[in-house]
Structure 1
Amino acid sequence: MANSFLEKVRGKLIVSCQALPEEPLHSSFIMSKMAIAAVEGGAAGIRSNSVADIQAIREVVSVPVIGIIKEVYPDSPVFITPTIKEVIAACETGVEVVAMDGTNRKRPNGEDLATILQQAKSKFPDTLFMADIATVEEAAMAEQLGFDIVATTLHGYTEQTKGHNIAEANFQFLKEVLQVTALPVIVEGKIDTPEKARTALELGGTSVVVGGAITRPQEITARFISKLNS
């Protein structure tokens, strides 16, 4: 499955179709339509959050899906497929790839990332597992733990990397990640222009995930308003 997934997305765009409960587009039906629009526009894959959205999207598009389940726990900042419960639920949808927080932060319920991954790979040997990381050290750790793919998703979103942007310093963070791991690297996180997406691929990224710049109209509108008011 690894070769099949990578062949389909290599050098191409994956669109993240997500809307949180407090957002106006929060609806599995709407996200399925968003996925159709993305695929019609040329997307080679979809990233989706929640069992309901994943199922709805898989019913209407045939491209590979990266599945996650966001769940907030009071004892941890980790919320992207954070425990074995969410990992199993995501795997059971049949998605090609399940992404989970791959940072070294404390996890909910005292669970351990290595154990979660080991259990998941044992139970779902045909599923690929992707580590959403924030630092170069975590990229190296992901390979050591046995992840199949690394994604730069959380760079700029953790306490350690807050304020950073993957495109800063001419994508220096991405360059360093590519040096420390032989795993495929999917570039995600604040890729908000076609130019940045192209640069990420030219530097060696396997594929690029774009979310808010395509699928969150309130964020897109706010950027226009900000520019108009400046």
Structure 2
Amino acid sequence: PGEWLGIIGPNGAGKSTLLRSIVGLTEYLGTVALSDGRGPGAADVALVPQFPVLPKGMTVAEYVLLGRTAHLGWLARESQADREIVSSVLHRLDLSAFAERFVSTLSGGEAQQVVVARALAQQCPVLLLDEPTSALDVGHQVSVLELVDDLRRTEGLSVLAAMHDLNAAARFADRLILIDHGRIVAHGTPESVLQSDLLSTVYATPLTVQSIDGDLVVLPAPRRRAHPQKEIS
């Protein structure tokens, strides 16, 4: 509990397929089980998909409230406690002003934040994130990832996240899985997985990994010029 496992790899490597398999949205071979041996259910695992589909005619508050459905009994209605959980999540994501807006009026970045809010309102012990910040600006990327990081540290939330930003993966993940063509090619701490030669091979582009102020930073490797530049007199 409380661990952040990042899944990295190039487009088409199988990151999204792995997450969808865990929640039963994609057929797979093998077994998916929790620590107690059970298969994961709606009250155990929440998924933030990469390309969510939002229902028309529903407000943000109503949509986020759907995250509480997994905790309701048959024909039970949401309680005041459920609504307070939704209000708290919207506040922490700076979305309170959007509560009564219809989800169909949201921008791509706003919609992605609302989908994250619904998953957090579900209050599952395991949170699956499929590139959750790909449509967000830098400021909101950081706020969403920091909120998830805070929840996993304070409430023991386990996070499994497919991440396209290698620097964010280095910053937030405790361990990384590097996938290429559907296979795990490296697994371990960010320091052990984020190796220049390995990343350059898997991503098919020259990359370099540096430590800046104690943080790992992945950068495009400087390309050597074919011919020296001529001085301009």
Instruction: Tell which structure's C-alpha radius of gyration is larger.
Output: 2
Structure with the largest fraction of helix? 1
TM-score, L = length of structure 1: 0.35
TM-score (norm 2): 0.35
